[in-house]
Structure 1
Amino acid sequence: MFGFLKKKDKKAKVEEVVEPTLTEEEKQTLNNQIQDLTKQIEAADPEEKEAMAKLYEQLGLAYAQLDDTDQAIKALETSLDYKLTIKDGYKKLMSLYNAKRAEAARNGDDAGIDYYMNKMDDMRQIAKKVTISG
C-alpha cells in the first residue's frame, strides 16, 4: 500500500549507457568538417574574437563527436579564450572535464582528480561571469 514502507531491492539493475558508434561515413564527414574548420581558422582574422570563438567551438564539438577528447578540450578551451560563453561548447567542455576526472578517479590518480576538479571550478567561475555580465 505504501511504497516507502516496502523493502528496497538491493539487486536493482544498473543500465549501462551505450554511446552510439559512428559509421565510417559519419567519421569521414566529421574529419572533412575538421579539415574545413581548420582552414577557416587559419584564414580568419584573430582579432575577430567572436568568429574565432565560434570556429574553435565548432572544431571542439566535432573532435568530441569523434571521441578525440584531448583535441576537443584544446579547441574548446581556445574558444573560451576568445570569448567567454556558456553555450554548447561550454557544456561539452564541462562534461569532458568531468569524464577526465572520473577516469583519473578510476585510476587512483589524485593529481588528475585535483587538476580536473580545478578545471571544473574554473568553468563554474566562467558561468558566474557570463551570467552576471549578461
Structure 2
Amino acid sequence: MFNFFKKKREKASDKKEDVLSEEQLTKIDQMIEEKRKEIAKAEKTVTNTEQAKLYEELGLLYAQKNDDEAIPTLEKSLELKLSMGDGYKKLMSLYNEKRKEAARNGDDAGIDKYMNKMDEMRSVAKKLTISGDK
C-alpha cells in the first residue's frame, strides 16, 4: 500500500541526458553565431547591463549544447552585472556538475575549485538579496 521499503525506480528519461538532433545543434550553432555578432557590434555602444544580458543569452546557448564555453561566458555576464537570473542558476548547476565529475574522478583540487566557485555564487546571491537587486 505505502511502498516504504521498495526502491524507487528511476525512469529511463531520468537516466539519459537529452540528446540533441543534428538539426537542433545546427540551429543552436546559428543562434550562437548571431549572438556573438550582436555582442561584437554592441560592445562599445551598450551599457554593462545590456552586455551582461547578451553574454548570459550566449552562455545559455552554449549550455544547451553542453559546450565548455558556457561557464566562462556566464561568468563574464556576472562580471559585467551581478544578477540571479537564468544565467546565475545555470552557472550554479554547471559548477555543481563539474564538482560531481571531480568527485567521481577523485580530483580533490577540482572539488575544492568548484566548491569555492559555488560559495562565491552563494555570496553573490546573499549580496543581491541584501541590496534588493535581483
- Kindly provide the amino acid, as one letter, of the partner of residue 101 in structure 2: E
The number of aligned residues is 129
- Distance in 2, matches of 1:31 and 1:92, equals 19
Q: TM-score, normalised by structure 2?
A: 0.88
Q: TM-score, normalised by structure 1?
A: 0.88
- Kindly provide the amino acid, as one letter, of the partner of residue 21 in structure 2: T
What secondary structure sits across from 1:31 in the alignment? helix
Aligned to 1:125: 123
Query: Which is further off, 16-25 or 84-93?
Result: 16-25
Distance 1:40-1:108 versus aligned 2 partners, 3 A rule: same
Give 1:58 deviation, angstroms. 0.4
**Residue by residue, what CA displacement relative to the aligned partner does 1:62-119 show, whole Å, maximum 9, x if unpaired?**
0000111x20001000000000000000000000000000000000000000000000
Structure exhibiting the larger radius of gyration computed from Cα positions: 1
Aligned to 2:39: 41
Ranges in structure 1 where 5+ consecutive residues have no aligned partner: none
Aligned to 2:9: 13
Runs of 4 or more consecutive aligned structure 1 residues displaced over 6 Å after TM superposition: none
Aligned to 2:58: 59
- Distance in 1, matches of 2:51 and 2:4, equals 56
- Kindly provide the amino acid, as one letter, of the partner of residue 58 in structure 1: E
CA RMSD of aligned residues (A): 1.8
Ranges in structure 2 where 5+ consecutive residues have no aligned partner: none
